[in-house]
Amino acid sequence: MNKVQRVSSLRAAVQAARHDKKTIGFVPTMGNLHAGHLELVKAAQQRADFVVVSIYVNPTQFGANEDLGNYPSTPDEDARLLAELGVDVLFLPDQSTMYPGELAKQTVVYVPEIGDLYCGQNRPEHFYGVTTVVSRFFNMVQPDVAVFGKKDYQQLTIVRRMVADLAFPVQVIGVDTVRNEAGLALSSRNGYLSEAQLATGAVLRQTLLEMSDELQKEGRVESRKALTELEKKARNKLEQAGFEPHYITVCRQYDLEPAHKGDDSLVILAAAVLGKARLIDNLEVELG
């Protein structure tokens, strides 16, 4: 595995691969890799001949009171896992590579509406930071295929919209969430949870499954009012288990607007704070 820090070295490696007629896959990460990230890498390897993984903890997607300073970092273990999987290039840019100018004067990529919902309300700067850094990565790596986890469903939907709106020649692939035995979605932030909280964390997934069962039982969305009732019940369940829910909403898959009567391709999106961790999860539900 070739570890590179500079864009010129990254480009030289990618150009050499292109010269050999290889397609390029890209997996952006913030490091502290777990089995979920490794599935993203495997998905990239299935779809492209040459895979670049980046590790960069992007400051512009963290709010002032968030965990940028404490974000878990395991660089040696990450590099070992990626080398073991046969990743071609590990790109490790520093801040001056990703943001050469003053952060306050940085051009920002903003996906309206869809970026303002849900996590965009609780974390107002978050998606600006994600779409800005992902655009920069796409221009640096110039991948044919880029892979993102479905755990960050809103992020995936926003990146897809950005790619369509800005005509990036990149195919975006979403990969299913990897979970622990209890059903809790793997996340670097699970490291903030105690043993007891890890057990409680699984209630988030159970709640989504129960909501999905109810929707399937009805077979159709009767009204927004019925969904609001379902969301209220779910919120209460999470509160009783010790979460502080930020949102739990039944949405339309394609634009993440709240679902209404007759919608049938749905996704339930949820975010809730448990102890020091803000957990997110989701579940796609197809009716009819």
Angle between helices 7-19 and 126-141 (to 10 degrees): 50
- Is 246 annotated in the active site? no
Contacts of 202 (CB under 8 A, 6+ apart): 180, 182, 183, 184
Helices (H), 52-152: 75-85, 95-98, 119-122, 126-141
Angstrom distance (rounded) from CA 45 to CA 32: 20
If binding is defined by CB under 6 A, does position 30 make contact with ligand PAF? yes
* Given 14, 29, 162, 259, the residue binding ligand PAF (CB under 6 A): 29
Of 155 and 190, the one with the shorter C-beta distance to ligand PAF is: 155
Residue carrying the six token digits 């739990």: 248
Q: Which two tokens stand for residue 119?
A: 């996590």
Please, is 164 exposed, middle or buried when counting C-beta atoms within 10 Å of its C-beta (0-12, 13-18, 19+)? exposed
Q: Which of 37, 126, 246, 260 is catalytic?
A: 37
User: In the bound complex, what is the minimum distance in angstroms from residue 130's beta carbon to ligand PAF?
Assistant: 5
Of 4 and 250, the one with the shorter C-beta distance to ligand PAF is: 4
Binding track, positions 146-175, relative to ligand PAF; x by CB under 6 A:
------x--x--------------------
Q: Number of residues in contact with ligand PAF, rule: CB under 6 A?
A: 10
User: In the bound complex, what is the minimum distance in angstroms from residue 78's beta carbon to ligand PAF?
Assistant: 12
Q: Are 243 and 201 in contact (CB under 8 A)?
A: no
If binding is defined by CB under 6 A, does position 58 make contact with ligand PAF? yes
Q: Looking at 70-78, 85-93, 127-135, 214-222, which segment touches ligand PAF (CB under 6 A)?
A: 127-135
CA distance between the termini of the chain: 47
Q: Give the CA radius of gyration of the chain.
A: 19
Of 146 and 184, the one with the shorter C-beta distance to ligand PAF is: 146
If binding is defined by CB under 6 A, does position 271 make contact with ligand PAF? no
Of 45 and 61, the one with the shorter C-beta distance to ligand PAF is: 61
Angstrom distance (rounded) from CA 223 to CA 216: 15
User: In the bound complex, what is the minimum distance in angstroms from residue 150's beta carbon to ligand PAF?
Assistant: 11
If binding is defined by CB under 6 A, does position 14 make contact with ligand PAF? no
If binding is defined by CB under 6 A, does position 115 make contact with ligand PAF? no
147: Cα within 13 Å, side-chain hemisphere: 24
Q: Looking at 9-17, 25-33, 67-75, 192-200, which segment touches ligand PAF (CB under 6 A)?
A: 25-33
Angstrom distance (rounded) from CA 102 to CA 96: 9
Active site members: 37
Q: Which residues of the shown chain bind ligand PAF in the complex (CB under 6 A)?
A: 28-30, 58, 61, 130, 133-134, 152, 155
